[in-house]
Structure 1
């Protein structure tokens, strides 16, 4: 049973909930992706927002990654995995780590599930919904090896900057969920957002690092190609939790 398309948008509109950090989108799934959700989501996915499709949980109510992946391994969380190409490529190249892709839009969830099936990947699982909600409620502090957020919604209008993912309150949550020594890697093709990313991450005393050249392990994403075609420079920032 695929996750209902209106689950997230309904819950996110409730009063007093945190602001969404991404644009809601509705895109037709098509036959192949509808089939992928029906066949593959119950096997390799779960819903952040729908209690009918929950993740496996430990006795204390947190995400049980051993049950989810069938093994104990370092865990990478991909925030906003898009159509899944980069996630699938990185997971295939790094089979000793597990990869949890969290994507709010069903077409991306379905596309990644199809890649997982086609490539025979055993170290990828897909969550449908809000990554910040998942991290806040279901992920234990100090439990992640890495968090990636590649080309999050830039919210270019000044009045919408409060919705950006990379801001002090969200970064504090991401850092808390990392193990000491774990990394947070973000990338954007918006110049002012790149400056904000560098300033916010550089201002956290428990993080160390800064702007870097795109590392070889991060594939060029579709969003990156689109930005480059528009003449945008791409900035990567990688920081490590030091305490």
Structure 2
């Protein structure tokens, strides 16, 4: 199997249906990457349990998890370390992750299996498509940690934090729900604040133009540690849906 095909599909032994993984080009670039044996095994074992697809159509989080709990949606969880840590630390909450890179999904499922986490589900799809399937006023927290900063000015239009995206999140967030962002690029932090402070229906928890201290529930990531080594700052921003 080529790397390209490997990033498209995972075949499950003994399963009549094979989960389909589709590409999309929005605010990200698909990176080819080989699956480790651990990731392959976790996908075979855990995708039927934790995997979700666009073909399932609109979802109701309470039906997905079998309970009506606090629901956290994380967009672009990378290799999944921090998301699994958060799910493990807050078993009373339910977590839905979205990631476009297959090795990241495999890593998340591997880590979740090792940690015995059951309050976690994941999509392997473009978040913009996933958001279309989430009902209004159904998510308590949306997390967007260290998205691609598209640091060249000509690429700023590809940054995911834009008005349309913010208003899509506003639709799915419950009243009082939180949109939590983090970045280690100061220019992107400034962009995030500029976009979000101007949005109807949100308030900046720290006051317009300001960031919040890193909350304890957000684990330190390798991106954050990398940024610290390079002398970069790390900024967290939290916005509350007010109407």
| TM-score, normalised with respect to structure 2 | 0.87
| Aligned-residue offset at 1:4 | 6.1
Hey, what does 2:17 align to over in structure 1? none
Q: Deviations over 1:87-114 (max 9, x none)?
A: 1111112111100011110111111111
Note the aligned Cα RMSD (angstroms). 1.6
| Equivalent of residue 7 in structure 2, options 5, 8, 24 | 5
Given the alignment of the two structures, is residue 213 of structure 1 paired with residue 226 of structure 2, yes or no?
A: no
Given the alignment of the two structures, is residue 20 of structure 1 paired with residue 15 of structure 2, yes or no?
A: no
| Equivalent of residue 124 in structure 2, options 112, 119, 128 | 128
Hey, what does 2:73 align to over in structure 1? 77
In 2, Cα distance between the equivalents of 1:147 and 1:161? 22
In 2, Cα distance between the equivalents of 1:87 and 1:215? 14
| Aligned-residue offset at 1:71 | 2.2
| Off by >4 Å, runs of 4+ in structure 1 | none
Aligned length: 222
User: Is the contact made by 1:45 and 1:127 (CA closer than 8 Å) also made in structure 2?
Assistant: yes
Q: Deviations over 1:150-186 (max 9, x none)?
A: 0001111111111111111111111111011000000
Hey, what does 1:38 align to over in structure 2? 44
In 2, Cα distance between the equivalents of 1:76 and 1:126? 12
In 1, Cα distance between the equivalents of 2:177 and 2:61? 17
| TM-score, normalised with respect to structure 1 | 0.87
| Equivalent of residue 169 in structure 1, options 161, 164, 168 | 164
In 2, Cα distance between the equivalents of 1:98 and 1:157? 36
User: Is the contact made by 2:7 and 2:33 (CA closer than 8 Å) also made in structure 1?
Assistant: no
In 2, Cα distance between the equivalents of 1:34 and 1:89? 21
User: Is the contact made by 1:147 and 1:184 (CA closer than 8 Å) also made in structure 2?
Assistant: yes
| Aligned-residue offset at 1:203 | 1.0
Hey, what does 1:140 align to over in structure 2? 135
Q: Deviations over 1:41-89 (max 9, x none)?
A: 11111234xxxxx44xxxxx51132332222222110000111111111
Given the alignment of the two structures, is residue 224 of structure 1 paired with residue 224 of structure 2, yes or no?
A: yes
In 2, Cα distance between the equivalents of 1:190 and 1:65? 33
Hey, what does 1:154 align to over in structure 2? 149
Q: Deviations over 1:212-231 (max 9, x none)?
A: 01111111111111222221
The secondary structure found in structure 2 opposite 1:117 is helix
Identify if the C-alpha distance between structure 1 residues 177 and 4 changes in structure 2 by more than 3 Å, giving closer, same or farther: farther
Hey, what does 1:51 align to over in structure 2? none
Hey, what does 1:241 align to over in structure 2? 241
| Aligned-residue offset at 1:205 | 2.8
